[in-house]
Amino acid sequence: MAIIRRSFTWFTVVALTGVGLFACTADEATSTAPVITEPTGTPGYNALWLPPVLSGTTFNLTLAKSTKQYRTGAATNTYGYNGSSFWGPTLIMNKGDSVTLNVTNTLTDQTTTHWHGFHIAPEMDGGPHQVVAPGATWSPTFRVRNNAATYWYHPHLHEKTYEQLTMGAGGLIIIRDPAEAALALPRSYGVDDIPLVFSSRRFLSSNQFAKDIKVTTYGDYMLTNGTEKAMVTMPKQVVRLRLLNAEIERGLNIGLSDNRPFSVITNDGGLLDAPVVVTRVVMMPGERVEILVDLSKDAVGASLDLMAYNAGQSFGFPGQEGNPVQPDGTAGRINSSLLNNTDFPMLRMAVGAATASAITSVPSTLVANRYWTTADVTNSRTVTITGGQPGSGFSFDGKSFSHTLINHTIKLNAVEKWTVVNNNVFGHAIHLHDVQFKIISRSNGPVAPYESGWKDTFYLPLGTTAVVLAKFEDFTTTANAYMFHCHFSNHEDEGMMGQFTVVP
């Protein structure tokens, strides 16, 4: 791939970018990634990497070491699945299919692969107990029961999640189902349906990723699908963006640079009843939303940025704190980052020609969800966030994670009300395995309409309490438990994780 030089016209740049995107089915080259330079002379952009797709009912994933050329000089050591230089392929599954995943670990460390958001038996879940030894292959098999939405897979080995995520291990999963297929929604992957994975990194002077869990909780440079200064051309019509916050700890207050409204159509576990129109959506690590952005009135050749409007957040919002000092990777920069407490772009969106079968309007309704209500509740419990004092990790109810500690035992088919209390020292992102739940109340105000759907991860701001309802059905615990934890992987690795079993 050649460097596109400034002497090209803007339209040529857009056209070539489009070709690059639409043709991209394999991993980008590491040292010859295209550099898109705008005629205005602003800093160059790199073509957004589009993860290749695997579909069918058997999925082979191989986690391996790789490298990617992010900086002049030494390449950055990374991890990727199936030969990717960062991240992995997007798995497309159909609800109702029985699938087998063969996960091969070529690292010298153990790993696990968790199917985030999936309602599956605990032994298939890929949590800390389902260890894949170096050189081994793990082959879980299960029926896909989740609704159409965007899910993801990532390592979940206790005390190694932070490191393996930092190195780039992860991938998206798209589930399709008939209810979603019946709607007039964009779904041409990489054309009008674009996956976007946000994760920032800090580079040491050696060009390697900083991965000191005690120091580097926030990166200094945003990587979108592993691409720094990413740019993509989207057609002049309604486009669908599948957003995943795959940060270690940073929250993202996402909006568009011209403040145009956009429509949230999914939460973590499925379509909403109807699109929710917003100008901002807050996403914590682990959360996904799919949004529709209307580009039909934009001129071909125009552009806008997908932004994180993170300046001015209150204390406890992850990424609010810290000082923007020069990156050197050395100690003394705990919780600081060049991106903290600032607004920054995450993707340059250029507008190209419309496609032949363009979606030009946003549906007024989506699906009819039947959520749990307090009338369904058969058991209630409270989980309180504790710990986090200097020198100690966060915990739940005073207990740090132990492989042998079962924090909660739940009866099969119970509809449970979990009240999660955070009067501690910082905000968190709470994730429950096994279930999709409904947030029914927050102590700091109403539940935002854009988070009113099925959720598996939610933001719990400092000083607040949230109440969620979930039904624990279909699977009981025969050996290994399910996890609940903070999805800030540094908090999780330092003990902010517990286990629950589901019993007859």
Sites of contact with Cu ion (CB under 5 A): 428, 486, 488, 491
Q: Which is nearer to Cu ion, 367 or 486 (CB)?
A: 486
| Least distance to Cu ion, CB of residue 62, Å | 31
CB of 496 to Cu ion, least distance (A): 5
Choose between 14 and 486: whose C-beta lies nearer to Cu ion. Answer: 486
* CB 461 within 8 Å of CB 316: yes
Nearest distance, CB of residue 110 and Cu ion, angstroms:
23
Taking the C-alpha atoms of residue 282 and residue 310, their distance in angstroms, rounded to an integer, is 10
Q: What are the residues facing 77 on neighbouring strands? A: 67
b/e code 342-366 from CB counts within 10 Å (16+ = b): eebbbbbbbbbebbeebbeebbeeb
Name which of 193 and 456 has its Cβ closer to Cu ion.
456
Q: Which is nearer to Cu ion, 195 or 495 (CB)?
A: 495
Q: Can you tell me whether residue 459 is helix, strand or coil? A: strand
Q: How far is the CB of 78 from Cu ion (least distance, A)?
A: 25
CA angle 341–210–229, rounded 5-degree value: 60
Evaluated on CA atoms 41, 342, 459, 294, the torsion sign reads negative
Tell me the β-bridge partners of 152.
116, 172
- C-beta of 428: minimal distance to Cu ion in Å? 3
Which residue, 127 or 318, has its beta carbon nearer to Cu ion?
318
- Tell me whether residue 348 or residue 491 sits nearer to Cu ion (CB atom): 491
β-bridge partners, 200: 222
* CB closer to Cu ion out of 189 and 218: 218
Across the strands, what pairs with 469? Answer: 417, 438
Tokens 């952005």 belong to residue: 293
> HEC states along 218-283?
CCCEEEECCEECEEEEEECCEEEEEEEECCCCCCEEEEECCCCCEEEEEECCEEEEEEEEECCEEE
Nearer to Cu ion, 60 or 400 (CB): 400
Q: Give me 172's structure tokens.
A: 């998206």
* 3-state SS, residue 334: coil
Instruction: Quote the least distance from Cβ 335 to Cu ion, whole Å.
Output: 13
Q: Left, alpha or beta for 285 (phi > 0: left; psi -120 to 50: alpha)?
A: beta
How many angstroms separate the CA atoms of 113 and 386, rounded?
Answer: 28
Q: How far is the CB of 114 from Cu ion (least distance, A)?
A: 17
Residue 191's closest CA among 358, 47, 303? Answer: 358
- Specify the residue, 82 or 457, whose C-beta has the smaller distance to Cu ion: 457
- In the complex, what is the shortest distance from the CB of residue 247 to Cu ion, in angstroms, rounded to a whole number? 12
Measured from the CB of residue 365, what is the shortest distance to Cu ion in angstroms? 36
- For the CB of residue 245, give the shortest distance to Cu ion in the complex, in Å: 14
Which residues, other chains included, contact 206 with Cβ-Cβ below 8 Å and sequence gap of 6+? 74
Nearer to Cu ion among residue 236 and residue 428 (C-beta): 428
